[in-house]
C-alpha cells in the first residue's frame, strides 16, 4: 500500500502539463522513492516473517519461539534493541526498489504498448500486463529475496557458541556465490512466481478499478 501510494503521488507531481508521458528518469525517481518507503515501512514485518518461518529449522536451544507478530516485535526490541528493526534493511531497500521498478514500471510500459496497438483499456489488458510483470518481478527480485532472507534469518556464532549481533550483507552474498554458485540466488523462483503472479494480477485489476472510480468521481 505504501509503495502504491508514493508511486502514484510522485507520478502525479511529475506529470507534464502537455500530457506527454513521463521520461524514464522521472519514472526512476518515482520508483526509488516508493521503493525506499516500502522497504522502511515493511522491514520489521519482513524480519518477523522470515524468522518465524525459519524457527523450526533451528536447534531447540537456538529458536526464538515468537508466539505471534506482536510478541516477536516485543522480544526483538527488548532483547536486541530498537536497531534490530533495521536488520537487513539494505537488502530490503534494494529488494523493494527492484520490486517497484519491475512490477510498476513493467506493468505501465506493457499496458501502454498494448493500448497503443489498439487494445481497449479493459480487464484483459490489465490481466496480460500484470501477468507479464509477475515474470519480470520474480526474476529481478529473486537474488535480493534470497540474500534478504539469509541475512534476516542468520544467527552468526562465535567460537564460544554465543550469538553475535550482525551479519554482513556482502559477506553473505559472497558466501552464497562461493559455496553454492549463481543459481543459488534463484532458488525458490517457481514458488515465488506462483505466489507473486496471482497477487499482482488481483492487485493491479483492483487498482485499475479503484483508480478509474476515483477519477470518475473526483476529477
pLDDT digits (tens, 9 = 90+) for 185-202: 998 899 989 988 998 999
- pLDDT score at 133: 92
- pLDDT score at 215: 67
The proportion of the chain whose per-residue pLDDT surpasses 70, expressed as a percent, equals 90
End-to-end CA distance of the chain: 22
Query: CB-side exposure of 86: number of CA atoms within 13 Å?
Result: 5
- pLDDT score at 138: 92
Strand partners, 157: 163
**Cα dihedral 174, 103, 115, 25 sign:** negative
Give 112-122 pLDDT, tens digit per residue: 899 999 999 99
- Give the 3-state secondary structure of 104-152: HHHHHHHHHHHHHCCCCCCHHHHHHHHHHHHHHHHHHHHHHHHHHHHHH
pLDDT class for 136, splitting at 50, 70, 90? Answer: very high
- Give the 3-state secondary structure of 58-100: CCHHHCCCCCCHHHHHHHHHHHHCHHHHHCCHHHHHHHHHHHH
- pLDDT score at 218: 65
All cell numbers assigned to 10: 510522485
pLDDT at 140 > cutoff 80: yes
**Which residue carries 557458541 as its cell?**
161
Give 75-98 pLDDT, tens digit per residue: 999 988 898 888 878 877 887 888
Q: Which of 77, 100, 130, 109 is nearest to 4 (CA)?
A: 100
Amino acid at each position: 500500500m505504501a509503495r502504491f501510494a508514493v508511486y502514484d503521488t510522485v507520478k502525479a507531481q511529475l506529470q507534464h502539463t502537455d500530457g506527454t508521458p513521463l521520461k524514464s528518469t522521472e519514472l526512476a525517481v518515482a520508483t526509488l522513492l516508493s521503493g525506499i518507503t516500502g522497504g522502511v515501512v515493511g522491514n520489521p514485518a519482513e524480519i518477523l516473517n522470515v524468522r518465524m518461518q525459519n524457527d523450526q529449522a533451528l536447534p531447540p536451544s537456538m529458536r526464538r519461539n515468537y508466539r505471534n507478530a506482536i510478541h516477536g516485535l516485543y522480544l526483538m526490541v527488548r532483547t536486541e534493541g530498537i536497531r534490530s528493526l533495521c536488520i537487513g534493511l539494505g537488502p530490503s531497500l534494494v529488494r523493494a526498489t527492484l520490486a517497484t521498478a519491475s512490477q510498476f514500471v513493467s506493468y505501465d510500459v506493457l499496458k501502454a504498448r498494448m493500448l497503443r496497438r489498439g487494445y481497449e483499456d479493459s480487464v484483459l489488458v490489465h490481466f496480460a500486463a500484470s501477468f507479464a510483470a509477475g515474470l519480470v518481478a520474480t526474476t529481478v527480485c529473486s537474488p535480493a529475496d534470497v540474500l534478504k532472507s539469509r541475512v534476516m534469518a542468520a544467527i552468526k556464532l562465535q567460537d564460544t557458541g554465543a550469538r553475535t549481533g550482525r551479519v554482513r550483507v556482502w559477506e553473505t552474498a559472497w558466501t552464497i556465490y562461493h559455496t553454492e554458485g549463481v543459481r543459488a540466488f534463484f532458488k525458490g523462483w517457481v514458488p515465488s512466481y506462483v505466489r507473486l503472479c496471482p497477487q499482482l494480477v488481483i492487485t493491479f485489476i483492483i487498482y485499475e478499478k479503484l483508480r478509474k472510480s476515483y477519477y470518475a468521481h473526483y476529477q
